[in-house]
Amino acid sequence: MPDELTPKPGEARPGTDSGLAGAEIEPILTVPPVVGAPKPHPILVVDDLTRSFGGLRAVDVDHLEVERGVVTALIGPNGAGKTTLFNQLTGFDRADTGRWSFDGQPVSSPSPDQLARKGMIRTFQLTKSLAKLSVLDNVLLGAPGQVGERLSAAPFRSRWQGQEEANVEQAEELLHRFNLAHMRDELAGTLSGGQRKLLEVARALMADPVMIMLDEPMAGVNPALAQSLMRHITELAFEGLTVVFIEHAMDVVTGISDWVVVLAQGRIIAEGPPWKVIHDDEVIDAYLGRRRAGAGS
């Protein structure tokens, strides 16, 4: 299967309804644009999630469902709690209260590596490329279930060489797809900021995710590169991957997302298809301030 032109994220995997991919994203359109609306095939369900820093309640989500196999954008003005919410869901920060389930299984006191092994892979707002590793090694690190990562097998090359070669092949495909193939053997620290973003996405895909969570993938990337990144993201969903990404610029999300969740001051204030959400009064208020209140409307 690794020989196929279609990279791994497109393959059917346990718990993934592969028939959902691509043209059949219709079910999400039947969902009413109401906060906390139930989705037909939720992959992530969150209840009563809160996180406070001192007196500030950074995240306060009553109920949220993320639909499987579509692109969901998480937007909100600066300081809305988007990254904090991401950190709770991926186990990088402990929530004060809350229950959530991922891929049908309840998650209790999650650790980042456990969640990652279940298929929830995230990237970071400030890219975390492994500077002194080659670009190829960066991607190879993402491969799941590596025999050679066990100390008992590590000294014996014959035990992991075959798997490593298959991984290299897959990694090279990913590098090619993200226009990094020519940088294969360079140290990742020598890449430009935009290239590092691409590298991080390639590395995340190497981990064979069920759901990929991108924290501001477009920030600090030049417009041309951002365009190609967006194209990659839509392709991923087309192949059946669930994509959630954070963005604070509203115009960016309309072209690529199937569903938009708007966060302001830690609370979800609106969700729905992008063309509905951007006209939502409360969303406009959250971004621009309450100028309407003065107008008496």
Contact pick of 94, 128, 231, 292 for another protein (by CB under 8 A): 128
Stretch that binds another protein, among 20-28, 32-40, 48-56, 137-145 (CB under 8 A): 137-145
| Residue 151 makes contact with another protein by CB under 8 A | yes
Contact pick of 17, 19, 94, 150 for another protein (by CB under 8 A): 150
| Residue 125 makes contact with another protein by CB under 8 A | no
**Cβ of residue 200: shortest distance to another protein, in angstroms?**
8
Size, binding site for another protein by CB under 8 A: 40
**Cβ of residue 89: shortest distance to another protein, in angstroms?**
12
**Cβ of residue 112: shortest distance to another protein, in angstroms?**
4
Contact pick of 44, 46, 66, 116 for another protein (by CB under 8 A): 116
| Residue 238 makes contact with another protein by CB under 8 A | no
| Residue 198 makes contact with another protein by CB under 8 A | no
| Residue 34 makes contact with another protein by CB under 8 A | no
Contact pick of 50, 146, 228, 254 for another protein (by CB under 8 A): 146
| Residue 129 makes contact with another protein by CB under 8 A | yes
| Residue 220 makes contact with another protein by CB under 8 A | no
**Cβ of residue 130: shortest distance to another protein, in angstroms?**
4
- The answer to whether 227 and 220 are in contact (CB under 8 A) is no
Contact pick of 137, 172, 235, 239 for another protein (by CB under 8 A): 137
Residue 108 CA to residue 97 CA, distance in Å, equals 11
Please report where in the chains the tokens 């059917």 appear, as a residue: 12
| Residue 90 makes contact with another protein by CB under 8 A | yes
Residue 280: how many CB atoms within 10 A of its CB? 17
Q: Which is nearer to another protein, 159 or 177 (CB)?
A: 159
| Residue 123 makes contact with another protein by CB under 8 A | yes
HEC string of the chain equals CCCCCCCHHHCCCCCCCHHHCHHHCHHHHHCCCCCCCCCCCEEEEEEEEEEEECCEEEEEEEEEEEECCCEEEEECCCCCCHHHHHHHHCCCCCCCEEEEEECCEEECCCCHHHHHHHCEEECCCCCCCCCCCEHHHHHHHCCCCCHHHCCCCCCCHHHHHHHHHHHHHHHHHHHHHCCCHHHCCCEHHHCCHHHHHHHHHHHHHHCCCCEEEEECCCCCCCHHHHHHHHHHHHHHHHCCCEEEEEECCHHHHHHHCCEEEEEECCEEEEEECHHHHCCCHHHHHHHHCCHHHHHCC
List all residues 6 or more positions away from 292 whose beta carbon is below 8 Å from its beta carbon. 281, 285
Residue 271 CA to residue 263 CA, distance in Å, equals 9
Q: Write the DSSP symbol of residue 156.
A: -
Contact pick of 5, 14, 104, 113 for another protein (by CB under 8 A): 113
In the shown chain, the binding pattern of residues 170 to 189 toward another protein, with x for contact by CB under 8 A and - for none, equals -----------------x-x
| Residue 94 makes contact with another protein by CB under 8 A | no
- Residues lying near another protein in the complex (CB under 8 A) are found at 90, 92, 112-114, 116-117, 121-124, 128-133, 137, 140-142, 144, 146-151, 153-155, 157, 160, 164, 187, 189-190, 203-204, 207
